[in-house]
Chain A
Amino acid sequence: GAVVSQHPSWVICKSGTSVKIECRSLDFQATTMFWYRQFPKQSLMLMATSNEGSKATYEQGVEKDKFLINHASLTLSTLTVTSAHPEDSSFYICSAPRQGNQPQHFGDGTRLSIL
């Protein structure tokens, strides 16, 4: 069964709305989680590393004020797309490693469509 749960799986909303996406590790504690963005038929691009109890680390070119990340517990990280616009429409995926350099477990992704 899934070890990382991501919700919601699909969001359609109006331009200007803020959207929160949750990523939960179900049977392990994740001090680190990762957030990716994927455009159609393209690869995953890492947006940020979510660190439990501290600030997220953003990749170059990712607006931290646009994509707010909160990792308040060892099993939950949230990504909030603030004041979303059509260009923010994409597939967002989270992941978490059980520990260290072990394979990462991925959520099922969230398809965000901004009208």
Chain B
Amino acid sequence: SQQGEEDPQALSIQEGENATMNCSYKTSINNLQWYRQNSGRGLVHLILIRSNEREKHSGRLRVTLDTSKKSSSLLITASRAADTASYFCARLLFGNEKLTFGTGTRLTIIP
């Protein structure tokens, strides 16, 4: 399969806790992007990290990239009920405009 794997597939945590989602892939990438999808809606871009970057932050979000292990993680700190959604990593290969999405993590924040 061209899809990467994300784990966990589902995650439920208490509001205020941190949530970590992981993404693994098989082929070399140009960049890796994280998206969020609320139920029945389109995707919203969160963070893009390039292959020569190791970490990026945006508000309560922190993304890391380890190209030697072909893996990335998304950390959401101080989670809120509104963070409940599905989160997908997507890889962009060199010379390509197509994104390949991972299997996704369904995150539930319990108020």
Contact = CB atoms under 8 A, between A and B. Distances in A.
Interface of B: 3, 30-31, 33, 35, 40-45, 48, 88, 92, 97-104, 106
B98 A49 contact: yes
Contacts, number: 55
Interface of A: 4, 6, 32, 34, 41-46, 49, 91, 93, 95, 97, 100-109, 111
Given A41-B106, A46-B99, A103 B42 contact: no
A105 B45 contact: yes
B89 to A, nearest CB: 10
Contacts of A43: 3, 88, 101-104
Q: List the 9 shortest-distance A-B pairs measured between CB atoms, nearest first.
A: A106-B42, A103-B45, A106-B43, A108-B42, A44-B101, A43-B101, A109-B42, A43-B104, A43-B103
B92 A93 contact: no
A42 B101 CA distance: 10
